[in-house]
Amino acid sequence: MARPSKLYIAMVGLPAMGKSTVGAKIKENLEKDDIKVGIFNNGDVRRRMIPGNTSNPDFYNPANTQAAGLRERIAAVNFAEAKAYLSTEGDIAILDATNVSRKRRETLRAHLPNHPILFIECINDDPELLALSIARKARLPEFAGLSEAEAKKSFVTRIGYYRHIYEPPDEAPDLVRLDTLNNRILSERISAGLPYYGRIRDLLMSDWIKNLFLVRHAESEYNVRDMVGGNSSLTDKGRKQAWGLSRHFIGTPLPYIFTSTLTRTLEMAEPLLETRKGQTTHHAFPEFDEIDVGECDSMSYAEIERTRPELFAARTRNKYNFVYPGGEGYATMAGRVYRGVKKALYLSGNSEYIMIIGHQAVNRMILSDFLFRRAEDVPYIFIPQDKYFHIVSTQTKKLFELRKF
Ligand code: F6P
């Protein structure tokens, strides 16, 4: 069968909007089918052409004509390399740059008239994620000479310059707008027969969870006493289990570990973090905190049954929709837990492995999303403390495995 014709993909978006992750996702997935995809990143060319320090925000100031000229030259090198790639072995060339001004996109189109160009605009308006992404960028080698606060400030100034010249790519003949946090297509205008678009569109809206290890904290003081809520520590047995978890994952790189803000998940992560200093980024998200049991905090189930029989009965009748007075229920915590998952996936980008250490109710909610369980059954999913769920969810593979550690 003849190969479809070739395609340029031009990313559009402010820095830290998830453009490079989208580019990597397209490359990695299409290459599995022998489609040759090259990524042409302006930042890489910049670092190659100007080995000195280009992290200075003034380099991105549109009023700095000398730097602007240099950035045009960098873009031109990138266009030429992308074009050369498609004229030889390449099938798809991804131009991974901000491309936020109309003028820049016109230059791009003028340089690359020989194949269609799909513009993918990446949008993420979430201020918290932006702040977290900026913190991650601030740790990049190019900011090595700066303190963390200086690096963040420098990056925020850089974003500000791009924001100032941002013109939505409305003029692009083939355009898809993507909400990169939710993998949601916000709008699209695509010519009939645009090569590879069916594949790419499906990818853009698919999860890309290469390996998620979903762990529950090990035995806690409250677990032993069958109590809910509180903020107890792990027992001695629980600490041993935590070391067992860490040993089990020796040899598996875990660039990101996410926990709740509660002591028992932090202690569960401790041995893992202790043995992976400098190799793992840890985020403690309140979105992953255990169900808030409100007025029942620090009570045992038996005590709730004895002192609040009406609550106990109501919960037994409809556990999913029951809401603890002054607290939460499964139904009401769903939104924040899913948001935690989205945040974790967004921040970990195209990482091969990530881990979430959560709690019984939280992990049930996370699992329910992958298992398509009926809501009424979610509060009963079995969540052991000596096993973890290995989850893969991509366009081509769904895996769900309960494994002992
Ligand atoms: O018992 C441990 C625990 O994590 C409690 O903190 C929490 O209230 C409970 O599990 C959630 O499980 P269930 O909804 O079955 O009570």
The tens digit of pLDDT for each residue in 133-185 reads 999 888 888 788 888 899 999 899 999 999 999 999 999 999 999 999 999 99
Residue of 217, 220, 291 to test ligand 1 pocket, by largest number of atoms within 8 Å of CB: 291
Q: Which atom of ligand 1 is nearest to the CA of 230?
A: 6
Residue closest by Cα to atom 8 of ligand 1: 228
Ranges 57-61, 137-141, 207-211, 287-291, most confident: 287-291
The yes-or-no verdict on residue 119 having pLDDT over 70 is: yes
- Our answer on whether the CB atom of 291 is closer than 6 Å to any ligand 1 atom is yes
- Our answer on whether the CB atom of 363 is closer than 6 Å to any ligand 1 atom is no
Ranges 3-7, 160-164, 327-331, most confident: 327-331
CA of 228 to the centre of ligand 1 (A): 6
CA of 356 to the centre of ligand 1 (A): 17
Confidence of residue 68 (pLDDT cuts 50, 70, 90): confident
Q: Dihedral, CA atoms, 72, 73, 77, 83, nearest 10 degrees?
A: 50
- Burial class of residue 220 in the structure, from the number of CB atoms within 10 Å of its CB (0-12 exposed, 13-18 middle, 19+ buried): buried
CA of 308 to the centre of ligand 1 (A): 17
DSSP state of 386: S
DSSP state of 2: P
- For the chain, helix, strand, coil in percent to 5 are 45, 20, 35
d(CA 176, CA 238): 49
d(CA 288, CA 217): 12
Confidence of residue 271 (pLDDT cuts 50, 70, 90): very high
- Cβ atoms of residues 146 and 156 within 8 Å: no
The yes-or-no verdict on residue 2 having pLDDT over 60 is: no
Listed in sequence order, the residues at least 6 apart from 216 whose beta carbon sits closer than 8 Å to its beta carbon are 357, 358, 359, 360, 363, 383, 384, 385, 388
Residue of 263, 265, 359, 380 to test ligand 1 pocket, by largest number of atoms within 8 Å of CB: 359
